[in-house]
C-alpha cells in the first residue's frame, strides 16, 4: 500500500477507494472465527490502515458507483463469458477484476447500451509465484483502465493491456521496472 500511496500522491489523487476482494476477506473471516481483541488488527481495514491512508472502504460484495459505472471485486458471476453474465444479471455498466483475465462485453438494454469489463490483474504470473496452480495454464492478463467521467455521469473506458511489463499510452512506450 505504501508503493500505491506514493504513486497516487505524486499525481495528487484526492479521492481513493479500496474495494475488498475474496483474498482480503480471508483475513476478515479469520477474525470472525477468532473474535479476540488481539486479532482485530487482522481485519483488512485495520491491517492496511485504510482510514488513516484516506481510502473509502467498500466491503466485499458492495458496489461502488461513480457516475453511471459500478465497480466491485467481481466474484458474483463466473463462467467463460463472465462479463456477459454480469451484464445479464446486473443490467448495469460494471468493472471488476476477480477472474484475472481481460474481457469486455456490451449489450443494449431498453435504457441504452451497457458494458462490463474484466480488467485482469497486476499479479506476478510467473510459474514459481503460482505453484498452487500445479502447472495449469490460465487465461490471465495484465491491464489497467483509464476512465474519463463526464458531468452527466457518462464515461469512456480505455483498457490498457500490459504485455511483458510494457504498454503504450498515446504512442509512448512505458516499461515497468
* Rounded mean pLDDT, 130-148: 92
Q: pLDDT band for position 95 (50/70/90)?
A: very high
Max CA-CA distance within the chain? Answer: 54
Cell numbers linked to 151: 458531468
Minimal CA–CA distance to 2: which of 36, 57, 52, 37?
52
Q: pLDDT band for position 80 (50/70/90)?
A: very high
Tens digits of residue pLDDT in 15-58: 999 999 998 888 888 888 887 777 777 788 888 999 999 999 99
Q: pLDDT band for position 166 (50/70/90)?
A: very high
Residues in Cβ contact with 30 at an 8 Å cutoff, skipping those fewer than 6 apart: 39, 42
Buried b (16+ CB within 10 A) or exposed e, 55-76: beebebeeeeeeebbbbbbbbe
Q: pLDDT band for position 160 (50/70/90)?
A: very high
Q: pLDDT band for position 176 (50/70/90)?
A: confident
Tens digits of residue pLDDT in 98-117: 999 999 999 998 989 999 99
Residues in Cβ contact with 60 at an 8 Å cutoff, skipping those fewer than 6 apart: 20, 21, 22, 24, 25, 28, 73, 75
Residues in Cβ contact with 57 at an 8 Å cutoff, skipping those fewer than 6 apart: 18, 20, 45, 50, 51
Residues in Cβ contact with 167 at an 8 Å cutoff, skipping those fewer than 6 apart: 160, 161, 173, 174
Report pTM: 0.90
Sketch the domain layout of the chain as residue ranges: 1-58, 63-177
Asked if 87 contacts 94 with a C-beta cutoff of 8 angstroms, the reply is yes
Query: Which range is least confidently modeled, 27-31, 65-69, 73-77, 81-85?
Result: 27-31
Radius of gyration over every alpha carbon of the chain, rounded to an integer in angstroms: 18
Q: How many helices (H) and strands (E) does the chain have?
A: 5, 11
Query: Which range is least confidently modeled, 49-53, 123-127, 139-143, 170-174?
Result: 123-127
Amino acid at each position: 500500500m505504501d508503493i500505491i500511496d506514493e504513486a497516487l500522491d505524486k499525481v495528487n489523487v484526492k479521492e481513493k477507494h479500496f474495494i475488498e476482494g475474496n483474498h482480503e476477506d480471508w483475513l476478515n473471516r479469520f477474525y470472525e472465527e477468532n473474535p479476540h481483541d488481539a486479532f482485530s488488527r487482522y481485519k483488512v481495514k485495520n491491517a492496511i490502515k485504510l482510514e488513516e491512508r484516506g481510502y473509502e472502504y467498500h466491503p466485499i460484495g458492495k458496489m461502488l458507483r461513480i457516475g453511471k459505472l459500478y465497480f466491485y471485486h467481481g466474484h458474483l458471476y463466473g463462467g467463460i463469458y463472465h462479463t456477459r453474465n454480469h451484464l445479464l444479471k446486473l443490467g448495469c455498466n460494471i468493472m471488476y477484476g476477480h477472474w484475472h483475465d481481460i474481457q469486455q462485453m456490451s449489450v443494449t438494454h431498453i435504457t441504452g447500451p451497457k458494458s462490463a469489463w474484466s480488467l485482469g490483474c497486476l499479479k506476478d504470473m510467473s510459474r514459481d509465484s503460482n505453484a498452487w496452480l500445479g502447472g495449469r495454464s490460465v487465461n490471465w492478463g495484465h491491464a489497467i483502465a483509464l476512465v474519463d467521467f463526464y458531468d452527466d455521469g457518462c464515461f469512456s473506458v480505455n483498457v490498457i493491456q500490459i504485455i511483458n511489463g510494457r504498454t503504450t499510452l498515446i504512442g509512448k512506450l512505458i516499461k515497468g521496472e
